[in-house]
Chains A and B, each alone.
Chain A
Amino acid sequence: MADKLVADKHVRYILMAEKKKESFESVVMDHLRMNGAYWGLTTLDLLEKLGSVPQDEIVSWVMSCQHESGGFAGNTGHDPHVLYTLSAVQILALFDKLNILDVGKVSSYIAKLQNEDGSFSGDMWGEVDTRFSYIAICCLSILKCLDKINVGKAVGYIVSCKNLDGGFGCTPGAESHAGQIFCCVGALAITGNLHRVDKDLLGWWLCERQVECGGLNGRPEKLPDVCYSWWVLSSLIMIDRVHWIDKAKLVKFILDCQDLDNGGISDRPDDAVDIFHTYFGVAGLSLLEYPGVKPVDPAYALPVDVINRILLTK
């Protein structure tokens, strides 16, 4: 049982993970290396250790994943998709390197994926999901060109995915899920549309995700998982209902999921760690105002100082 964050070990775990390319796990994850890089680098920045990575090397690898269409792939050689385009933009934002992007090209790639009903496809093959609405809106807002899409229709589609429990699903009629709720609430936050959320109804559903051990689950009657410390907590913060959960118990749950010997955070205590849960654990602690962790923005999923630098200066 841990009583504090072993930040140095997590930093080492992230820096080492990059070097262990030969395990089966890392080959299976090969196609989403861009997401992995975003999770790892953001965690490092939240722990004030972004300086310990070779920035130029990473930036040029990121740029090597960009396709002629403007979209980014999950790794070199793979196809472009909005999932990796957002991660690429977020990584460049972390390094304050957005200026090297051809903003027109990236934003056109995203804008062309908007459908007639306001929804977004993830790539040219037409899978529709509110995750992609969030990605499009978040990405274009960081690039300051939301005017390239029909925001009204995009918001209308997201609202059409609202359920009778106050939550949101991936398409109209789909079941509420905390990850999906983060996407929809985040997109509504970024476009100034949180008044379209029933904050009390959704807030009650979200705060009831906290289970006895203090951890949060993503749907009723499911097991708790550290990643929901991000999805649920950020949504509760955006709608100003985070005081409805017991924060001290959640801090304890996240700390209990640390690998105290080798660093990294897992989904539940004593499970195998990975970079995804390490990021969500540290970001969750940031949202819980844990000392020594920089504040993270609940909507853009980047450190507050990065987002303020981009959006609060002209």
Chain B
Amino acid sequence: MSAEDPQVDQSRRDLIEEFRRKRIGRHSPDLRLLLNRMRMSEGKRPYILICTKPHREWCLGRKSGARGSEIEVMPEVIFHSPEEAEWEIFKRRWQELTGETLT
């Protein structure tokens, strides 16, 4: 998908807010569609987390689905909750797909 991809509708600020409020769990059908498209858009090296302290701290990484493939670590990108990580990835994907930086 490109920034012009009609499947990601930049005008749907309500979906951004819905995700910002509730990042894991039940979502509206439109947000589900958006999330699935965003998540499947990552191609071969999707974002993953590496747990550095159980239940308390994670850092960002990327890894392809290939067996034994390299795990890229971004030790400077640290999260202290799964929700915080989900929002960061949402913002990154949104930026990649639309060019817009969410705050």
Physical interaction between A and B:
no
